[in-house]
Amino acid sequence: KSIGDIFQNCDKFPDVLAITETKLNGNVYAPNLPGYHPFEDVESKTDAGGVGVYVSNDFEYIVREDLSLKVSGCEDLWISILKNPNDSISTNSSKNLVIGTIYRHPQKKV
């Protein structure tokens, strides 16, 4: 199934889609999804693996390369969803949200 097929009957779409085993490379690219920032990804060095995220256009975010695990046999991508200064929600709204997406290749020991 494609991403579009998975969410075709949804009334509300997820704010963040974290995806593993993207298998993207210089010749294969992630599709653009309406309502989301362009795909952020870490390409795999093999034919398997790879990670990426789509973040809703409702949010600002930054990629956190400083949090990278730098572990052989893994790909990881970390982002911070930035607090919206106009957000009226009081619960934990003063903090950014950090999200990590990690893929460990099955044959690799970590």
Q: What percent of the chain has pLDDT over 90?
A: 32
The answer to whether position 76 is within a domain reads: yes
Judge whether 47 lies within some domain: yes
- How is residue 66 annotated by DSSP? G
Average pLDDT for residues 77-105, to the nearest whole number?
A: 78
Contact predicate 101/51, CB 8 Å? yes
CATH for 84: 3.60.10.10
The confidence score (pLDDT) of residue 59 equals 92
Residue 99 lies in a domain: yes
Q: Which domain holds residue 81?
A: 12-104
- Looking at the structure of the chain, the number of domains it has is 1
pLDDT band at 94 (very low <50, low <70, confident <90, very high): low
CA nearest to 31, candidates 22, 21, 43, 20: 22
Residue 45 domain-assigned? yes
> CA 68, CA 15: separation in Å to the nearest integer?
22
For residue 102, the cross-strand partners are 76
